[in-house]
Structure 1
Amino acid sequence: MTSIKIFVEGIADEKFIIDYLKNEYNYSIEKNGIIITNGWDSINSKEGSEAIINEMNKNSDNDGVNLLIFDSDNDFTQRKDDLTNWKTGKKVNFELFLWPNNKDNGDFEILLENIINPINKPILDCWDNYENCLKQKQIPNRSAPLTTPARKTKVYAYLEALLGESKSQKKKIKEINRNYNEVEHWDLNSQYMNSFKSFLDTYFKR
Structure 2
Amino acid sequence: MSKKNVKIFVEGQGELALFTQILEQRYKVVLEAEETENKQHFSAEINTEDYSIELAVYNKELKSGGIDSTKIESLMKHIKNLEKIGYNCFVFIDADTPQHRPAGGAAARKEYMKGLLEKYELKNTGFFIVPDNEKDGNLEDVMQHCIAERGKPFFSCLSSYTDCIKNLEKENFPKEVEGQDLDKKKYEWYVYMMLGHREGGKKSASPNRKYISDDIWDLDGLNDSPLVNYLDREVFYFLDKKT
Question: TM-score under structure 2 normalisation?
Answer: 0.69
AA aligned to 2:87 is G
Q: Is the 8 A contact 2:148 2:216 kept in 1?
A: yes
Root-mean-square deviation over aligned CA pairs? 2.9
Could you tell me which of 231, 234, 238 is aligned with 1:200? Answer: 231
Q: Which SS does the other structure have where 2:9 is aligned?
A: strand
Q: Is the 8 A contact 2:95 2:106 kept in 1?
A: yes
State whether structure 2 residue 196 is matched by structure 1 residue 164.
yes
**Aligned counterpart, 1:90:** 120
Give the CA deviation at 1:73.
0.5
Question: TM-score under structure 1 normalisation?
Answer: 0.80
Matches within 5 A, 1:113-124: 113-124=144-155
State whether structure 2 residue 54 is matched by structure 1 residue 33.
yes
Could you tell me which of 7, 10, 13 is aligned with 1:11? Answer: 13
AA aligned to 1:178 is K
**Aligned counterpart, 1:63:** 86
Task: Give distance in 2, aligned partners of 1:132 and 1:39.
Answer: 24
State whether structure 2 residue 155 is matched by structure 1 residue 131.
no
The structure-2 alpha-carbon separation of the partners of 1:170 and 1:115, relative to structure 1 and needing over 3 Å to count, comes to: farther
Give the CA deviation at 1:82.
0.8
Task: Give distance in 1, aligned partners of 2:127 and 2:162.
Answer: 33
- Structure whose residues are more often helix by fraction: 1
- Structure whose residues are more often strand by fraction: 2
Tell which deviates more after alignment, 101-110 or 54-63: 54-63
Task: Give distance in 2, aligned partners of 1:16 and 1:151.
Answer: 17
**Aligned counterpart, 1:174:** 207
**Aligned counterpart, 2:133:** 102
Q: Which runs of 5+ in 2 are unaligned?
A: 32-44, 48-52, 59-64, 98-104
Q: Is the 8 A contact 1:7 1:35 kept in 2?
A: yes
Q: Which runs of 5+ in 1 are unaligned?
A: none
AA aligned to 2:138 is D
Q: Which SS does the other structure have where 2:219 is aligned?
A: coil
AA aligned to 1:11 is Q
Task: Give distance in 2, aligned partners of 1:58 and 1:135.
Answer: 44
Runs (4+) of structure 1 exceeding 3 A deviation are 135-139, 144-149, 167-170
Give the CA deviation at 1:164.
2.8
The structure-2 alpha-carbon separation of the partners of 1:186 and 1:16, relative to structure 1 and needing over 3 Å to count, comes to: same
State whether structure 2 residue 49 is matched by structure 1 residue 49.
no
Sequence identity of aligned pairs in percent?
Answer: 19
The count of aligned residue pairs is 197
Q: Is the 8 A contact 1:3 1:63 kept in 2?
A: yes
